[in-house]
C-alpha cells in the first residue's frame, strides 16, 4: 500500500500519508458546548492510530446554527481554550489538526435553538419540518462575519487547516442548491448567485486567517433529489470557490432528504462516492478528498493508485478501529476491526444522545474501558462461540486469564453466521474474523463440535464459567406450527435449501425484512406478515429506508396489522385488526419473529456452585452490539 502511505502536501501543510479522519459528530461535548476530557481522549486516540490529518467535528459558528446541544461551538472566545486542547492532542500524536466550521440553517429544530431556524428561503426542512425564518441580506452578511470570526478562533486555538461545511443539507448547502434556495435576489438564481454566500464566506475566512492556513470546502456533489446538486453543477461551484481561495475539497453527497448518501448503510456499495470525487479531480486544480464507505485500506490505496482522489477520508472506520492506519501500514490487515456500516453510531446518537459502535464498545469510553492486566489470573470457561462469547474470551485472555471456549457447532460466530448469509450483510463476517483472530493472538483455546455438559464443567473445574449459549428461534403458538411447510430463519440462513416460488415470512422486524430481501433476490415471491401497524420496528432509519426501497423493487408484499392465525398444508390463515381472516396460499412459511433464551445448560450448572455469568441472548434477547458491550465489560471485570 505504498500509494496510501506516501506523503502529500496541501499548501504548506505536510501530510505523512493519504488518510484523513473527516468530521464526525462525537456527542462527547458538554451541554454548554464545552470540551470534556472524553472529547480530548476521543480525538487523541484517533490521531494516535496513524492518520495524516484529523478534522474535528462541525463547530457551530452561531447559537442558532447548532443542530444538537452536544455539538461543539466556536462562536465565542471562551471556547478557544477547550478547542486548543483538542488541537494540541491531535498534534502531539503526529497528525495535522483541522477543524470544520458549520451552521445548521433550517436543518435544526426550534426545540434545540429556541427560535425559528434560519434558511435561505421560506422552505422548511423536509426531514424536521416546522416554520423557518428566511435570511435577509443583512442577516447573510452577519453570518459571513461569524464564519470568519470562527475561523480566526480556530487559528488561535492551534488548528492547522479550516474546513467549511458546505454539504449535507446544512445552511451553506441550502444556498447552493435549487432544491432549497428559491430566493429572488443576488443570492439565488444561477450557479454564481447561489454560490455567492459560500464565496463570501471563503473570502472572509481567508482574510481573517491572513491566508496562513489551508482552507477546505466540503460539498455534496450529488444530492440525489429533484432539483438538487449534481456533480457537473458542483464542479462549476468549486471553480468559483477556488478563485475565492479554497485549497482543498472534500467530495461527499446527500442532504436532509437523502441521509443514506451521507452515512451509507451496508446495503450500499463500498466507496460509492468515489466516481464523483474522480470527476471533480479531473476538473479542478486543487487536491480532492474522497469520502463515503471507505472502510478498507486496500480499497483506499486503490483509489489513490488510480488517481481518483488525492486523499481518502475514513470516518466510521476509525471509530470502529482507531489503529486501522498503523495496522495497515504494518501489514496487520487481519487485526483490523472493520466498520460494518451498520450505522449503530448514527442510531445511538439519535436514540441515546451519545455515540456507540457495534464492533467497538470502547468508542466514547476510551479511559473507562482501558485494559488493565489482572493480578489474580483465573481459569475461565466460556460456553458459546458467538460474538459475546468470543469477545469476553479474548478480552479476559488479554488481561492474563487462561481461557477456554467451547462451541457445539463446527464454526465460530454464533448468530453472526446466519446473519451474514444475505449478500448485503456479508461484512458481518469481518467481525467474526476479527474476533477469531483476537482469540488466536491472546492464546484462547477454542474447542469446536463440543456441546458442553455439566460433567465437562466439572472436569475442567474452572474458576469462572461464562455462559454465552445464545438463543433459539421463537415460534408462535398457532395451530399447524409443526407442519412440514414451516421453517425458521436459521433453517434458511444456516445453509439449508432455499425455498422456491411463494414464501410467507412471519415477522416484519429487521430479521424478517432482511430474510424477505434475501429470498426475493433468489426469485421467490415473498409476502411478509407483521402484527404491528408499522414494518421494520427497531431497524436503523437509513438502513430501513434502503431495504424498503429494495423490497418494493422486488415486488415483496408487506402486510401490517396482520396476525398469523393458523398454518395449513398449503398456506396460512391471517387475521386483521377486525379479526377477519384471509387465506394466503404458499409453498413455505418462514418464522422470523425473534428469539428466546437457551437456558438449558444454565439450569443444570447453577446447582454446581461455580461462579457463573450469563451474557448475550442466553440471558435475554439481545442485539450483537449489546452482547459485545456486555462481554467487553465482563471481560474487564473478571
Question: What pLDDT score does 598 carry?
Answer: 86
DSSP state letter for 77: G
Which bin fits 606, alpha (ψ -120 to 50), beta or left (φ > 0)? Answer: alpha
Q: Per-residue pLDDT tens for 113-163? A: 999 999 999 999 999 989 999 999 999 999 999 999 999 999 999 999 999
State the Cα–Cα distance between residues 569 and 582, nearest whole angstrom.
15
Q: Per-residue pLDDT tens for 60-98? A: 999 999 999 999 999 999 999 999 999 999 999 999 999
User: For residue 620, what pLDDT band results from cuts at 50, 70 and 90?
Assistant: low
Question: What pLDDT score does 599 carry?
Answer: 86
CA 207, distance to chain mean position in Å, is 36
Of the candidates 99, 193, 116, 85, the one whose C-alpha atom is nearest the C-alpha of residue 152 is: 99
State the Cα–Cα distance between residues 291 and 313, nearest whole angstrom.
5
Of the candidates 250, 195, 253, the one whose C-alpha atom is nearest the C-alpha of residue 220 is: 253
Q: Residues with catalytic annotation?
A: 170
Question: What pLDDT score does 424 carry?
Answer: 74
Instruction: Calculate the dihedral angle through the C-alpha atoms of 66, 68, 70, 74, rounding to the nearest 10 degrees.
Output: 0
What does the buried/exposed string (b/e) look like for 143-180 if buried means 16 or more CB atoms within 10 Å of the residue's CB? bbbbbbbbbbbbbebbbbbbbbbbbbbbbbbbbbbbbb
User: For residue 410, what pLDDT band results from cuts at 50, 70 and 90?
Assistant: very high
What does the buried/exposed string (b/e) look like for 296-335 if buried means 16 or more CB atoms within 10 Å of the residue's CB? bbebbbbbbeeebbbbbbbbbbbbbbbbbbebbeeeeeeb
Question: What pLDDT score does 311 carry?
Answer: 98
Question: What pLDDT score does 592 carry?
Answer: 95
Question: What pLDDT score does 135 carry?
Answer: 98
State the Cα–Cα distance between residues 105 and 109, nearest whole angstrom.
10
Residue 595, H or E segment: strand 595-597
Residue 162, H or E segment: strand 161-166
Question: What pLDDT score does 621 carry?
Answer: 62
Residue 307 near residue 586 (C-beta atoms within 8 A): no
State the Cα–Cα distance between residues 181 and 173, nearest whole angstrom.
9
Q: Counting Cβ atoms within 10 Å, is residue 421 exposed (0-12), middle (13-18) or buried (19+)? A: buried
CA distances from 489 to 281, 419, 473, 509, 516 (A): 46, 10, 8, 12, 10
Give me Rg for the CA atoms of the chain: 27
Instruction: Check pLDDT > 90 for residue 197.
Output: yes
Question: What pLDDT score does 267 carry?
Answer: 86
Instruction: Check pLDDT > 90 for residue 361.
Output: yes
User: For residue 43, what pLDDT band results from cuts at 50, 70 and 90?
Assistant: very high
Residue 49 near residue 86 (C-beta atoms within 8 A): no
Q: Counting Cβ atoms within 10 Å, is residue 264 exposed (0-12), middle (13-18) or buried (19+)? A: buried
Of the candidates 358, 394, 419, 387, the one whose C-alpha atom is nearest the C-alpha of residue 616 is: 387
User: For residue 579, what pLDDT band results from cuts at 50, 70 and 90?
Assistant: confident
State the Cα–Cα distance between residues 520 and 88, nearest whole angstrom.
53
Q: What angle do CA 510, 363, 111 make, to 5 degrees?
A: 70
Question: What pLDDT score does 616 carry?
Answer: 83
Q: Report how many helices (DSSP H) and strands (DSSP E) the chain contains, helices first.
A: 21, 27
In three-state secondary structure terms, 302 is: helix
Strand residue runs (E) in 105-146: 118-119, 133-134
Mean pLDDT, the chain, as a whole number?
95
State the Cα–Cα distance between residues 638 and 635, nearest whole angstrom.
6
C-alpha cell at 122: 421560506
Contact residues for 367 (Cβ-Cβ < 8 A; gap 6+): 37, 38, 41
Q: Per-residue pLDDT tens for 548-565? A: 999 999 999 999 999 999
User: For residue 427, what pLDDT band results from cuts at 50, 70 and 90?
Assistant: confident
Q: Per-residue pLDDT tens for 430-478? A: 999 999 999 999 999 999 999 999 999 999 999 999 999 988 889 999 9
User: For residue 33, what pLDDT band results from cuts at 50, 70 and 90?
Assistant: confident
Range of weakest confidence among 225-239, 257-271, 337-351:
337-351
Q: Per-residue pLDDT tens for 477-531? A: 999 999 999 999 999 988 788 888 899 999 999 999 999 999 999 999 999 999 9
Which bin fits 27, alpha (ψ -120 to 50), beta or left (φ > 0)? Answer: left
Amino acid at each position: 500500500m505504498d500509494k496510501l502511505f506516501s506523503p502529500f502536501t496541501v499548501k504548506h501543510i505536510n501530510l505523512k500519508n493519504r488518510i484523513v479522519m473527516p468530521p464526525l459528530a462525537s456527542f462527547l461535548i458538554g451541554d454548554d458546548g464545552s470540551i470534556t476530557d472524553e472529547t480530548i481522549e476521543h480525538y487523541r486516540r484517533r490521531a494516535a492510530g496513524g492518520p495524516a490529518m484529523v478534522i474535528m467535528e462541525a463547530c457551530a459558528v452561531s447559537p442558532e446554527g447548532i443542530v444538537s446541544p452536544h455539538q461543539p461551538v466556536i462562536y465565542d472566545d471562551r471556547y478557544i481554550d477547550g478547542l486548543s486542547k483538542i488541537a494540541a492532542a491531535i498534534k502531539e500524536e503526529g497528525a495535522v489538526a483541522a477543524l470544520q466550521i458549520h451552521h445548521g440553517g433550517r436543518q435544526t429544530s426550534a426545540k434545540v435553538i429556541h427560535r425559528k431556524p434560519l434558511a435561505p428561503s421560506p422552505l422548511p426542512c423536509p426531514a424536521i419540518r416546522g416554520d423557518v425564518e428566511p435570511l435577509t441580506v443583512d442577516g447573510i452578511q452577519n453570518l459571513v462575519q461569524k464564519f470568519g470570526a470562527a475561523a480566526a478562533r480556530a487559528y488561535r486555538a492551534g488548528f492547522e487547516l479550516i474546513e467549511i461545511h458546505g454539504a449535507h443539507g446544512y445552511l451553506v448547502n441550502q444556498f447552493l442548491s435549487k432544491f432549497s434556495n428559491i430566493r429572488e435576489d443576488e443570492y439565488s438564481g444561477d450557479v454564481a448567485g447561489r454560490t455567492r454566500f459560500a464565496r463570501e464566506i471563503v473570502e472572509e475566512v481567508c482574510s481573517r486567517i491572513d491566508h496562513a492556513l489551508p482552507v477546505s470546502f466540503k460539498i455534496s456533489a450529488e444530492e440525489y433529489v429533484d432539483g438538487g446538486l449534481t456533480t457537473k453543477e458542483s464542479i462549476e461551484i468549486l471553480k468559483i470557490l477556488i478563485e475565492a481561495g479554497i485549497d482543498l475539497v472534500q467530495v461527499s453527497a446527500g442532504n436532509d432528504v437523502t441521509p443514506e448518501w451521507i452515512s451509507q448503510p451496508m446495503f450500499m456499495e463500498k466507496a460509492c462516492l468515489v466516481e464523483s470525487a474522480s470527476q471533480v479531480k479531473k476538473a479542478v486544480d486543487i487536491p480532492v478528498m474522497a469520502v463515503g464507505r471507505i472502510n478498507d485500506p486496500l480499497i483506499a490505496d486503490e483509489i489513490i493508485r488510480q488517481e481518483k482522489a488525492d486523499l481518502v477520508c475514513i470516518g466510521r472506520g476509525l471509530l470502529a478501529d482507531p489503529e486501522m492506519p498503523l495496522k495497515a501500514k504494518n501489514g496487520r490487515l487481519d487485526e483490523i476491526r472493520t466498520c460494518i456500516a451498520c450505522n449503530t453510531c448514527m442510531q445511538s446518537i439519535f436514540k441515546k444522545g451519545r455515540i456507540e459502535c457495534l464492533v467497538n464498545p470502547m468508542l466514547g469510553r476510551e479511559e473507562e474501558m482501558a485494559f488493565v492486566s489482572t493480578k489474580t489470573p483465573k481459569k475461565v470457561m466460556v460456553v458459546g462461540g458467538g460474538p459475546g462469547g468470543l469477545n469476553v474470551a479474548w478480552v479476559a485472555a488479554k488481561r492474563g486469564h487462561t481461557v477456554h471456549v467451547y462451541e457445539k457447532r463446527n464454526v465460530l460466530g454464533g448468530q453472526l453466521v446466519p446473519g451474514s448469509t444475505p449478500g448485503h450483510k456479508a461484512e458481518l463476517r469481518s467481525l467474526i474474523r476479527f474476533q477469531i483472530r483476537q482469540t488466536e493472538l491472546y492464546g484462547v483455546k477454542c474447542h469446536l463440535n463440543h456441546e458442553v455438559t455439566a460433567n465437562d464443567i466439572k472436569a475442567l473445574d474452572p474458576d469462572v464459567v461464562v455462559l454465552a449459549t445464545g438463543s433459539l428461534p421463537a415460534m408462535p403458538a398457532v395451530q399447524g406450527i409443526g407442519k412440514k411447510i414451516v421453517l425458521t430463519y436459521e433453517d434458511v440462513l444456516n445453509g439449508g435449501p432455499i425455498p422456491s416460488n411463494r414464501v410467507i415470512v412471519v415477522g416484519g422486524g429487521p430479521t424478517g425484512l432482511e430474510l424477505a430481501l434475501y429470498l426475493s433476490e433468489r426469485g421467490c415471491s415473498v409476502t411478509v406478515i407483521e402484527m404491528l401497524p408499522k414494518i421494520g420496528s427497531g431497524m436503523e432509519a437509513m438502513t430501513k429506508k434502503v431495504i424498503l426501497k429494495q423490497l418494493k423493487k422486488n415486488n415483496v408484499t408487506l402486510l401490517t396489522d396482520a396476525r398469523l392465525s393458523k398454518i395449513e398444508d398449503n398456506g396460512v390463515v391471517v387475521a386483521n385488526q377486525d379479526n377477519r381472516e384471509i387465506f394466503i396460499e404458499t409453498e413455505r412459511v418462514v418464522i422470523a419473529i425473534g428469539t428466546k433464551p437457551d437456558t438449558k445448560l444454565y439450569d443444570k450448572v447453577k446447582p454446581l456452585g461455580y461462579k457463573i455469568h450469563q451474557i448475550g441472548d442466553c440471558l435475554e434477547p439481545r442485539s450483537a452490539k449489546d452482547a459485545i458491550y456486555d462481554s467487553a465489560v465482563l471481560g474487564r471485570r473478571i
